[in-house]
Amino acid sequence: MTRRRRAPVLAAGALVWRERKGRLEVLLIHRPRYDDWSWPKGKLDPGESVPGAAVREVAEETGLEVALGPPLPMLRYATGNGRRKEVHYWAARVLDEDAPALGARPSTSRHTHEVDDMRWLPLGKATKTLSRGSDRKPLKALAKLHGEGALATRAVVVLRHASAVSRTAWDGAEQDRPLTPAGTAQAEALVPLLAAFGVDALVTSPWERCAATVTPYAKQAGVVPELAPALTEAAFRDDPAAARGLAAQLLADAAASDVVGATALCTHRPVLPGVLDAVDPIAPGWVRRARPAQDPYLRPASVAVVHLAQAPAGVRAVSLETHRTRAG
């Protein structure tokens, strides 16, 4: 009989960076239990998203609240008991103290028993200080992004609304069709996922199932959603170019902004291809290949996160990643 392969242990963390006097620095932590220097990281809590775990671990181990930027190479290795482990990393920057995303995050306390020292170090010194050679892999990728002018990014989070009552089971107007109980749970589970990327602006279809999906985050973050009729199914059917144009403008505005954070755009499954098409003209091949290209594009309450930078030649999509909630 064939034995089923056990799922890997999932962990997440971030390479927190800053620039001082024109020099790139990264934050390393020292763990007394292992007497090593590494990146802040840790295992996922039950029901937690991978990005949510990354920002929580950074906060617990460094006391810093960050927003995730471009994803960095994942590390895979075997634990002491032979179990596979996957550690997901992002580049990350410290949020301002008044960032709306902080209101949507649970309070955390710093785990001083796990981390007894931390240091901001330039790249060369950080490379030498890291205890494990494998930890240099995400650092090398971060340095490459910095050299290309693609490290300081802002994201646009494209979000499909949470699970809604089926069309056949709903007798009311289409724009009023509500979320199911599972969809309501998904909307709540989206809060830490959106907060991980530092979402500070919401743009949504005004139809009920989209508006209800962003409401939990809007309330906790204190953000007033912008209602965009171009993102409704009916408007997209009549004028697809309007939704594409809106998405293209949001991408351009994100790239031009120097504010650490992200803008979330919530829409419907039939509108997703038009919104995602706006990424193609500003994306290299590997980013275009990463974006959802087939129906249903995204599952309910799932996101495609596009990281944008302002390059000399114009707006550039640096990377694209997809995530889904673990609720509902």
pLDDT digits 0-9 by tens, 231-263: 999 999 999 999 999 999 999 999 999 999 999
Cis peptide before 46 (omega within 30 of 0): no
Residue 3: the pLDDT is: 56
- Under the banding of pLDDT at 50, 70 and 90, the label for residue 4 is low
Residue 236: the pLDDT is: 98
pLDDT digits (tens, 9 = 90+) for 129-168: 999 999 999 999 999 999 999 999 999 999 999 999 999 9
* Stretch 115-135: mean pLDDT: 97
Q: What is the mean pLDDT of the chain?
A: 95
Share of the chain above pLDDT 90, in %: 88
* Stretch 214-232: mean pLDDT: 98
Contact 38, 121 (CB under 8 A): no
Residue 111: the pLDDT is: 79
Residue 22: the pLDDT is: 87
Contact 201, 226 (CB under 8 A): yes
Residue 1 has pLDDT above 60, yes or no: no
Residue 225 has pLDDT above 80, yes or no: yes
Distance CA 275, CA 179 (A): 22
Distance CA 84, CA 108 (A): 28
Instruction: Tell me the β-bridge partners of 156.
Output: 263, 306
Residue 108: the pLDDT is: 84
* Stretch 202-229: mean pLDDT: 98
CATH no. of 9-147:
3.90.79.10
Residue 203: the pLDDT is: 98
Contact 53, 12 (CB under 8 A): yes
- Quick one: CATH architecture of 154-324? 3-Layer(aba) Sandwich (3.40)
Residue 328: the pLDDT is: 53
* Stretch 274-289: mean pLDDT: 96
Distance CA 59, CA 40 (A): 9
C-alpha neighbours within 13 Å on the C-beta side of residue 179: 25
Residue 13: the pLDDT is: 98
pLDDT digits (tens, 9 = 90+) for 96-110: 999 999 999 988 878
Q: What's the whole-model pTM score?
A: 0.95
Domain boundaries in the chain?
A: 9-147, 154-324
**262-267 and 199-204 beta bridge pairing:** parallel
Residue 232: the pLDDT is: 98
pLDDT digits (tens, 9 = 90+) for 20-59: 988 999 999 999 999 999 999 999 999 999 999 999 999 9
